[in-house]
Amino acid sequence: MSDERREDFEAKGLVGGHPEIRAKTRRCVEVEHSSFWTPLESDSHATALRQFSAPGPLAVEIGFGRGLFLGRFAMQHCDWHCLGVEVKRKLVREALVRFDKWGVVNARLLLGDARALLPPFLEKGSIDALFILFPDPWWKKKHHKRRLLDAVGLAPLVPLLKDNALVVVRSDVPVVLDLARIALPAIGCELTDGPGLELPVTDRERVCDRIGIPSQELCYRFRASGGA
């Protein structure tokens, strides 16, 4: 990767650095699983990812954590192809263990920042549903550039959304919900009453419910002709 390109990605605030660079410098144990793909490192994984995402309907969850939502969603919607992207390797491993236990067959996982990993491999207009559930609020000012829910953070993902795609945000952090209320209409999303399909709970949501922290769900439909 050229210095110029590296600076460009760093300037966008990718979480964990660019996945291509991360792959070359990592020292930890590899994840080996047929549902885990590293498309930046393997041409066969890149091809598999393109083939998996092409027929659709395609659901993408960014930051799936331990995978409760993605795994349950995949099981409830067997006709969907489900793709999860997560920056933490340990969580990818945990989700794979869960998916094996539950017999999930229609979900695939990628490790890295979704904003760098998805655009090279997914067709434009291929995502039917995008889930950003309890995203990190990145409280510190110097970390704000890592936030997904602003116009800059979402920009690489917008071309991947199909017209009328469902976009769902959930959070227990009012600032994050406020950011979503500004950023999503700015990229052409219209608020709707509900998702129109059954959606499971997430791990973070389960904790919030247990300890009495209120959270909220915002559902949008992407209009390809809309946006600023």
Ligand X SMILES: C[S@@+](CC[C@H](N)C(=O)[O-])C[C@H]1O[C@@H](n2cnc3c(N)ncnc32)[C@H](O)[C@@H]1O
Of 23, 171, 168, 32, nearest in space to 87 by CA: 23
Please give the full DSSP string across 164-201, using - where no structure is assigned.
EEEEEEEES-HHHHHHHHHHHHHTTEEEES--SS----
CB 194 → ligand X: shortest distance, Å? 19
Q: Between 20 and 190, whose beta carbon lies closer to ligand X?
A: 20
* Interacting positions 3-42 with ligand X (CB under 6 A): 15
DSSP 123: P
113 classed as catalytic: no
35/107 Cα distance (integer angstroms): 7
Q: Which of 53, 106, 126, 202 binds ligand X (CB under 6 A)?
A: 202
* Interacting positions 39-98 with ligand X (CB under 6 A): 62-65, 85-88, 91
The answer to whether the beta carbons of residues 188 and 226 sit under 8 Å apart is yes
Buried b (16+ CB within 10 A) or exposed e, 10-39: eebbbbbbbbbbbeeeeeeeeeebebbbbb
The answer to whether the beta carbons of residues 154 and 146 sit under 8 Å apart is no
Tell me which residue has its CB nearest to ligand X: 63
Q: Between 20 and 136, whose beta carbon lies closer to ligand X?
A: 136
Backbone angles phi, psi at 53, to 5 degrees: -85, -15
Q: Which of 20, 94, 136, 190 binds ligand X (CB under 6 A)?
A: 136
Q: Between 198 and 225, whose beta carbon lies closer to ligand X?
A: 198
Annotated active-site residue in 8, 79, 100, 136:
136
* Interacting positions 88-127 with ligand X (CB under 6 A): 88, 91, 113-115
Q: Between 10 and 163, whose beta carbon lies closer to ligand X?
A: 10
* Interacting positions 139-168 with ligand X (CB under 6 A): 148
DSSP 69: H
Q: Which of 107, 133, 183, 184 binds ligand X (CB under 6 A)?
A: 133
CB 225 → ligand X: shortest distance, Å? 27
Residue corresponding to tokens 């919607």: 77
The answer to whether the beta carbons of residues 31 and 89 sit under 8 Å apart is yes
Q: Quote the tokens at residue 37.
A: 């793909």
CB 117 → ligand X: shortest distance, Å? 8
CB 164 → ligand X: shortest distance, Å? 24
Q: Between 200 and 226, whose beta carbon lies closer to ligand X?
A: 200
Active-site residues: which are they? 136
Name the residues that contact ligand X, by CB under 6 A. Answer: 15, 62-65, 85-88, 91, 113-115, 133-136, 148, 202-205
